[in-house]
Amino acid sequence: MGFRKNVLQFYFCKTFFGKSSSPLTIFLLLPEPYIEQVEYLDVLTKTGKKTGVSKPRGDVHRDGDYHKAVHVWIFAESTQELLLQKRADYKDLWPGLWDISSAGHISAGDSSLITAQRELQEELGVILPKDAFELIFIFLEECVTNNGKFINNEYSDVYRVTTLEPISREAFTLQ
């Protein structure tokens, strides 16, 4: 679930004729209907191989299917600092807690590296070339939360982005 932007759009309503018979066009300002995009994930075997099946993200977590995600760690070499961000309170897993620099599911058919780039841009507004990302390891997280309603069997490709100095706060555009 993401933030719903209240985008307003003009809709033609009706044309009236006043006393002078000149048309008066009235527009209603209505919110554009919000259509949440369903994210599909590739379903994996327990050993991390693609099955050839993709399912909506919610179904994957309901059914406990294995799937992939990326984590991006931004590390400042000069200060030996790792950038963390606080998760939004509306998240279905670990809401309001501190997390790594950027993360996200790998959508069906997408590559790990493209997803790492996209998530960093979407979450922090940082655009980096592919060669800035170093795959450092892959780990499997298997957990059940939310009273058994959220089953996370996730292989995460973990990337490190190393900068000489910490990235200034002004450089970020938050989601």
The beta strands (E) that lie in the chain are given as 8-17, 23-31, 40-44, 50-56, 66-76, 81-82, 85-86, 98-99, 102-105, 134-145, 150-163
Angle, CA of 89, 90 and 93, to the nearest 5° = 90
Yes or no: is domain 38-171 CATH 3.90.79.10?
A: yes
Which tens digit of pLDDT belongs to each residue from 124-151? 999 999 999 999 999 999 999 889 999 9
State the pTM of this model: 0.77
- Say how far apart CA 36 and CA 52 lie, in whole Å: 25
Band (173; pLDDT cuts 50, 70, 90): confident
